[in-house]
Every structure is written in structure tokens, then in C-alpha cells.
């Protein structure tokens, strides 16, 4: 069973294996489909950087055996989540990967989303939505670790192979969104900061605004109180677990 933590975040621990099964996106009535598209179009008008690309949603999550978490997933696009603003409509929860990056002085990295993203100013772990495999292909655990490693490189400039990342926790929070948190190998603070700075320079050289505009290293949930702006709902529980493991 998951450990329930405020604010309404479920934290699944001791997950040794994910059992992944493809499901289907729920069918929509014509009225809900039209309302969804209207909400999405208004969101794009407000933020032209929004892109209706393919992503994976979570269609179900439950413990089936000790150490095994059964996760059903479905192919959708970002437009699907506009259903959250349609009264009476049901949207599948999002599925994302993120990375816990520790430093050798016992701290962990948190990052702030830039103003051009869908969550400007939000502090979270580096990561992103899960992308679906090619048509006819299934989703496997190695894919998820590989996507987490890619996010770590693209956002922070840190290179880690998928085989170096360990599934550390699974969270279920706002709107039922499910996060798969992978723990990366320990690095010195200087290496983390230098890689982040170089990655930001490289992004701007390509004419793109980096997804992350700042990073911080924290050693306890109390440190999060000094980071102004919104925080991802899973952030405090994961930092608390990291601190507990260090103290244990």
C-alpha cells in the first residue's frame, strides 16, 4: 500500500518492478471533445509555446504483488489534459519521469521552471512527460529510465546512462498525476552547477529558452521554504524521504 502524505500525495516505496500494460484513451462525447478543443485553443493563445505533442497518460495504478507495481498506460496528446477544465469530463492522469540528483555533501538538486513553460516559476525535480513508443511497440522499464536520463541531460547537461538510474519512488498527486522518480549517481556540487550553466548557454545559442532558469541544492524540507514560488506537490515528500534515508 502507498504511504499517504500531505498535501494529498501518495508515495509508493519498495517498488522493484513495474508491470506495464497498454490501455486506451477514454472515448469522448462530441460535446466534451468540442469543449476540450476550445479550452486547448485558449491555452495556446495565452502561451504560443504550448505544443500538442504525443505523451503517455496513466490509465491505472495498483500494487499486484510485493515489490510489483502494475501501471496501465494510454497514448494521448497534451490536448487531452484540457479536459481537466471541462465540467463533468474525465481526463486520465499524466505520467512523468523525474530524477533525484544528489551531491556528495548530502544535498539534492531542485530546479525552477522558466517563464516560457506550462508551469512558470515552479520548483520541481528535473524531468518531463513520458513519450509513447512507436506504434505497435510496448512501453518497457528501460524506456522509462532512458527518458529520465535524456531529461537529465537536456535540462541539466548531466550525462548518466539509463542503467545508472534506479527507480527510487513512485508518486501520485495533483489530478492523480503519476511520477516515476529515478535516483542518479552522486556528483560534486561544482560538476552539477558547471553542467547546468553550460547547458543553458548551449540552449540560448540555438535560439531557445532553457526549460529551467535556476537550480538550488537542498538538504531538508525546511530548505524548500526559502524557495519563492509554487512547488510541485511531490517535492516536499521526496526531499523528506531523501533526508530520512541520509539520517537513517
8 A C-beta contact, residue 32 and residue 86: yes
Answer positive or negative: Cα dihedral of 155, 244, 16, 224.
negative
Residue 100: which of 34, 166, 47, 38 has the closest Cα?
166
Which residues, including other chains, have CB under 8 Å from residue 187's CB and lie 6 or more apart? 101, 102, 103, 104, 158
Alpha helices, H only, 73-228: 141-156, 189-205, 221-224
Q: Which of 243, 240, 214 is nearest to 229 (CA)?
A: 214
Cell of 209: 529558452
Whether the Cβ atoms of residue 46 and residue 201 lie closer than 8 Å to each other? no
Q: How many helices and strands (H and E) does the chain possess?
A: 5, 12
Q: Please report, to the nearest 10 degrees, the dihedral formed by the alpha carbons of residues 28, 32, 37, 39 taken in order.
A: -140
pLDDT at 6: 45
Looking at residue 248, what is its pLDDT?
Answer: 58
Range of the domain at 120: 3-247
Task: List the grid coordinates of 130.
Answer: 513520458
Instruction: With a cut of 50, list the residues of the chain below it in pLDDT.
Output: 1-6
Which residues are CB-neighbours of 245 under 8 A, at least 6 positions away? none
Residues recorded for the chain? 248
Residue 101 has phi, psi (to 5 degrees) of -110, 105
Total domains in the chain come to: 1
Rg (CA), the chain: 18
Any idea what the CATH number is for the domain that residue 72 is in?
3.90.79.10
The pLDDT, as a whole number, for residue 215 is 97
To which H or E segment does residue 163 belong? none
Integer Cα distance of 219 and 242 in angstroms: 8
Distance CA 155, CA 66 (A): 34
Amino acid at each position: 500500500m502507498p504511504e499517504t502524505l500531505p498535501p494529498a500525495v501518495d508515495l509508493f516505496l519498495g517498488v522493484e518492478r513495474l508491470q506495464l500494460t497498454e490501455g486506451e484513451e477514454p472515448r469522448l462525447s462530441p460535446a466534451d471533445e468540442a469543449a476540450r478543443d476550445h479550452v486547448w485553443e485558449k491555452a495556446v493563445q495565452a502561451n504560443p509555446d504550448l505544443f500538442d505533442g504525443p505523451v503517455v497518460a496513466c490509465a491505472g495504478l495498483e500494487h499486484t504483488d510485493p515489490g510489483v507495481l502494475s501501471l496501465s498506460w494510454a497514448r494521448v496528446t497534451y490536448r487531452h489534459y484540457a479536459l481537466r477544465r471541462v465540467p463533468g469530463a474525465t481526463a486520465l492522469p499524466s505520467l512523468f519521469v523525474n530524477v533525484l540528483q544528489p551531491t556528495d555533501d548530502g544535498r539534492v538538486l531542485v530546479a525552477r521552471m522558466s517563464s516560457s513553460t506550462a508551469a512558470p516559476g515552479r520548483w520541481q525535480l528535473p524531468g518531463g512527460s513520458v513519450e509513447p513508443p512507436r506504434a505497435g511497440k510496448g512501453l518497457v522499464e528501460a524506456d522509462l529510465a532512458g527518458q529520465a536520463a535524456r531529461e537529465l541531460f537536456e535540462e541539466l547537461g548531466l550525462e548518466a546512462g539509463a542503467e545508472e538510474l534506479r527507480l527510487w519512488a513512485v508518486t501520485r498527486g495533483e489530478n492523480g498525476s503519476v511520477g516515476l522518480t529515478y535516483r542518479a549517481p552522486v556528483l560534486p556540487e561544482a560538476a552539477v552547477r558547471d553542467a547546468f550553466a553550460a547547458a543553458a548557454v548551449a540552449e540560448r545559442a540555438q535560439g531557445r529558452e532553457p526549460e529551467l532558469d535556476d537550480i538550488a541544492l537542498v538538504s531538508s524540507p525546511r530548505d524548500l521554504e526559502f524557495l519563492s514560488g509554487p512547488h510541485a506537490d511531490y517535492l516536499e515528500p521526496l526531499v523528506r524521504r531523501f533526508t530520512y534515508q541520509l539520517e537513517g
